[in-house]
Copies of this chain bind each other. A is one copy, B any other.
Amino acid sequence: MAPKLRTVPRKRPVQDRSRATVDAILAAAAQVLVKDGFDRTSTNRVAEVAGVSIGSVYQYFPSKEALVGALVERHNEAMRAAVLAELQRVQVLPLEAAVRAVIELIVRAHAIEPALHRVLMEQVPRTGRLARVDQFAVELHAVIVRYLDAHRARLRVQDLDLAAFLAASAVEAMAHGAVIYQPHRLDDPAFLDEATAMVVRYLIA
């Protein structure tokens, strides 16, 4: 029988001591997750690395899924905030500059904790918490469509929904691929030039 899945946090840390414990647990979870992958990450090992007892882990996280879910949420929220803020900022820039800025940002976002990002995106089972990731994607898509619509006059593409989907997929993949498989390209300004060129030349005539 599968272990029952509790998703509601058991207890909220109120003293500084327990907040430090929670931070240590999350940091250790990220470290073990990156090193061993999701299914070889054991809660006992996380506790050991965090320097706390296994009991303390379960004081604040009702299950392994909830523990990893908290990491997903934290990582996702950080990316969400950074990307959406930047999109707001470049809304007024001309198209080429805006595309370049967004690509640069997305590459940088991927490059911060690439290994953790990879594990969280690829290996964590799609349960509960991960709905937020999809929601982020939907939100991002909407912002892109809105931006394209505002610049519609200069665009050659007609179906903005389709264009946003294709451009977002391409950019995400180029950033992800470069960070994971071709890190040396990140220092090459030609990479950003070319990625920008692909998107811009696709969007405008």
Binding site for B on A (CB under 8 A): 37-40, 122-123, 125, 157, 159, 162-163, 165-167, 169-170, 172-174, 176-178, 182, 185, 188, 190-191, 194-195, 197-199, 201-202
Contact = CB atoms under 8 A, between A and B. Distances in A.
Contacts of A201: 201-202
Contacts of A162: 185, 188, 190-191, 194
Contacts of A182: 165
A174 to B, nearest CB: 5
Contact of A190 (B159, B174, B188): B159
A167 B201 CA distance: 13
Contacts of A125: 37, 40
Given A170-B198, A173-B174, 9 more contacts: A40-B125, A123-B123, A157-B194, A165-B178, A169-B174, A170-B170, A170-B173, A198-B199, A202-B202
A197 B202 contact: yes
A154 to B, nearest CB: 15
19 contacts: A37-B125, A38-B39, A123-B123, A157-B194, A159-B190, A162-B190, A162-B191, A162-B194, A166-B195, A169-B170, A169-B173, A169-B177, A169-B178, A170-B198, A172-B173, A194-B202, A197-B202, A198-B202, A201-B202
